[in-house]
Chains A and B, each alone.
Chain A
Amino acid sequence: MKLSILGWSTNGLRCPDVDLDFAKGGKTPHAVTLLQMPNGTGKTTTLELIRAALDGSAAQWNADRVRSFRRALSDDLHGEFCIRLAVDQEPLTFTLKLDFDAGRASYTTQFRSRNVEHHEPPAQATRFLRSEFVKLFIFDGEYAHVLFDGSKSEAGKAIKNLFQLYLFEDLQDASDAHLKEKIKEIGSKSRSANAIKIMRKDLEAAENHLRSLKKEKDKASAAVSKDQDRIEILDSRLRDLTAKSKGLNDNRARALSDQAKAQQEARDALYNLLTQLRKPIFVHPCFHQTLSELVAGLEQLRLPADTASQWFDELADAKNDNCVCGRPLGPQERQNILTLKDRFLGTEVHAVLNAVKGSARQALLDHAQQPTGAETSLAAAISTTSKSEKHKRECDTKLKAAEQALAERGNADEQRINSEILDLRPKVADYKELLMQMQLPTGRHSLKVAEARQDELALGLSKSTKTVELNEKIKVLRGILEDASEIADAALRNDVKDKCNERLAQVLKNDPLRIGSIERSIALESQGGASMGQTLAVGYTFLVTLLSEGNHSFPLVVDSPAGPLDHTIRREVARIIPAMSDQFLAFTISTEREGFVSTLADAVEEAGRDSVQFLTLVRLTAGTRPLVANAPPGRIVKTANSALVDDREFFESFNLEADEDEV
């Protein structure tokens, strides 16, 4: 079966009114259509509507959900989404009608010439147009993460759905129903009808109990798998953090020691500089010269004078009748001596001046004994001080950086991870305990007990209704179906895994990542987890691998295919897109173009497919009107609230991150 999307139209809904045609009126759509829609143009709404139109799920929507599609401030009572498909080249149209007044959704289906007022896919498409399967090819980034979620079983379900493994269960249900019908029929004719009725009820209760135990088992297994995966990831992160912390702590310790050393050196340099400053004669030649001239001058003048003023005081003393020269001393002579003595220095000044002379002489002597260029020691001290200070600052900066890195690594992260692990471990232990009890031959949770009880009641009932042989046959059939389902499931999961890994080796060749297993969910070989881009790439690869199985072909509709990917992975993903499906339809925004669009266009050309269709859909607002005015004439179609431009140049030059409010 080959399914294609030829186009869709929206009218009176939250997203702008538009009529999109991916096949130019024909039955074969472009291999790749890129529909550029700025944020706020209704990408998510459109995806929801496509899914609902394909799987018929809107019939179960409640009134609030229906009304959530109503355009803001609109008086429209109805909205309509119509999707045109081709099933094996034959046109199929689903129209989803939303009655906002009544809060109801309804469908019409048109296939070949048949028109019905409900959702009715043609027989060959029925099994694929179910919500479980539709979400595989109407894809959003979120679903890629769900595929990895161990608590959900989306990956396993996807394989079961594609390969119709549910048919084994359908067969089991049919055989069980047949047995029950037979028992009911025979029982109603029997004389012990009441007893048989009671036995049937007991059997039903035992079956319900067994079913609920199995459900519990599935739930517990899923929880163990999810929580153990999570614990392993957390353990791995913790190990990384610890290793990183050790490195960071070592760095910090080194930086701290370097800083202490540099601080000491800078301090020593400053002390040395001060020591130099406290030697004036070495500071500058001018001081040396000054002191040298001063000492020479004082010595020439014989200063301090040999005779101190105290000597004149003693000479002028009244006890002396005569001067040293023998002449008599009268009051006038004494007065003259005392007046003249001021021209000579007293002992107090004498001592100071002698000390000045002595110190200067010694300093000059020290200076003379210093190696040549003693004054340069100040310049050297300045240079050393500056270098030490610079080095100290560098060490300060290094220490700050080391501490910052340590702070950013975050003890908080370690604590949070530890706390999550501590929460998870007892939960896992409880679930494991429950699973263990289910394996025991006795006990309230024992599956064996429940199965034996069910078998015993079934046998009793069979005996009473004479259906023992039929019951046995059905038991054998059930066993065969269960084994076949399990074997097929395991083989298919393994096969899909191998094929995925072959593709992944191509897609992520620069950053290899392998799928370790596909049980309920996809588990990667490396326990460290993958980046968002890698997750998406693995998700795409898984879907591409699934959708390319068998003789079927589906369109692949993706919201923001390159958004979370880095440029290298964008190119890799763009290269595999032509091989992904016969029709690839992506909703993009302008920031996704780089590294993606040109690679994709080239890959499509290389694959010998037709050209890429570049569409730009814009909500018409005061802000976007000037932008769409640049669209080439004949390539633009406008409605009351939107403009659709079919042109590569316009697509590539269009630049609007987010749409504005509707006008």
Chain B
Amino acid sequence: MSYFRLASDAQKWFASAFADDGPLRTEFDKYYLCLLIGLKKRRRDQLDSSAKDVIEYWISDYQGIRDLMLGLILNDELNDRGIKVEERNAVQATCKRIFTHDDRTQLTSDGMNVANSIAYGGFRTIEESFPGNISPRSQFELMTHVASLLAEH
């Protein structure tokens, strides 16, 4: 069983914003925002041993976009490995390495490592670009910042 994981510094960084009343309620919300930014910015960072398990499945709010996210993760991995989508054998091998139907996350342990490193890269991007070198105090501050990063060209 593989877990979506977030670094402990990320957990701390999000704490104030998540204490605020708003639509972001779950640990997976944090993870998703990080993953999305990591995919957009194509950045990966390696989690260290202090990282904590978030959850072992896609929660209901994200079930609808699970397969799209898996597609984006696959694409990121192909890019990362320099594999072109026409390279049938390499693509097949990558799919086999990162996807499995046997896990609720649909990701193998390798696939989960890929997703987690993308999410951590996303977190680092959010954190580094957040104005004033502080953490967000509200969901408004966090979400508008993340949305602005996504809207960038």
Contact = CB atoms under 8 A, between A and B. Distances in A.
Interface string A264-305: 001100110110111111011011001101111110110111
A381 B150 CA distance: 12
A356 B151 CA distance: 24
B118 to A, nearest CB: 13
B86 A360 contact: no
B102 A360 contact: no
Contacts of A305: 92
Given A290-B75, A352-B99, A360-B67, 15 more contacts: A274-B29, A277-B147, A277-B150, A279-B65, A298-B91, A303-B88, A303-B91, A348-B99, A349-B101, A351-B101, A355-B70, A355-B106, A356-B74, A359-B65, A359-B66
Nearest to B145: A382
B140 A344 contact: no
B5 to A, nearest CB: 21
Interface in B17-39: 21-24, 29, 32-33, 36, 39
B133 interface: no
Contacts of B91: 297-298, 301, 303
B85 A386 contact: no
19 contacts: A267-B22, A270-B22, A271-B23, A277-B36, A286-B40, A290-B71, A294-B85, A300-B85, A348-B99, A352-B99, A356-B67, A356-B68, A356-B71, A356-B74, A359-B66, A359-B68, A360-B67, A381-B147, A382-B147
B65 A278 contact: yes
A297 B86 contact: yes
B144 A284 contact: no
B151 A284 contact: yes
Given A276-B147, A343-B92, A301 B86 contact: yes
B151 A344 contact: no
A244 to B, nearest CB: 34
B87 to A, nearest CB: 9
Interface in A304-360: 304-305, 342-353, 355-360
Given A277-B36, A277-B143, A286-B40, A349 B151 contact: no
A281 B89 CA distance: 27
Nearest to A305: B92
A363 interface: yes
Contacts of B143: 270, 273-274, 277, 385
A347 B18 CA distance: 40
Nearest to A375: B151
B146 A385 contact: no
A389 interface: yes
A378 interface: yes
Interface in B78-93: 85-86, 88-89, 91-92
Contacts of A490: none
Contacts of A356: 67-68, 70-71, 74
Contact of A290 (B72, B106, B146, B150): B72
Interface in A62-106: none
A382 B72 contact: no
Contact of A349 (B39, B62, B88, B96): B96
A352 B68 CA distance: 11
A205 interface: no
B68 A360 contact: yes
Of the four ranges (under 10, 10 to 19, 20 to 34, 35 or more), the interface on chain A belongs to: 35 or more
Interface of B: 21-24, 29, 32-33, 36, 39-40, 61-62, 64-72, 74-75, 85-86, 88-89, 91-92, 95-96, 99-102, 106, 139-140, 143-144, 146-148, 150-151
Q: 10 tightest CB-CB pairs across the interface, nearest first?
A: A297-B85, A348-B101, A359-B67, A352-B99, A356-B71, A355-B67, A274-B23, A301-B88, A271-B23, A351-B101
Contacts of B85: 293-294, 296-298, 300-301
Contacts of B95: 303-304, 345, 349, 352-353
Given A266-B140, A358-B67, A378-B147, A348 B102 contact: yes
A345 B65 CA distance: 23
A291 B71 contact: yes
Nearest to A296: B85
Given A352-B101, A378-B150, A382-B151, A300 B86 contact: yes
A253 interface: no
A389 B140 contact: yes
Which interface residue of B33, B65, B75, B140 has the most chain A CB atoms within 10 A? B140
A274 B28 CA distance: 13
A294 B146 contact: no
B101 A270 contact: no
B36 A385 contact: no
A350 B144 CA distance: 38
Given A294-B71, A294-B75, A347 B101 contact: yes
A276 B102 CA distance: 30
Contacts of A270: 22-23, 139-140, 143
B70 A352 contact: yes
A379 interface: yes
B40 A284 contact: yes
A280 B99 contact: no
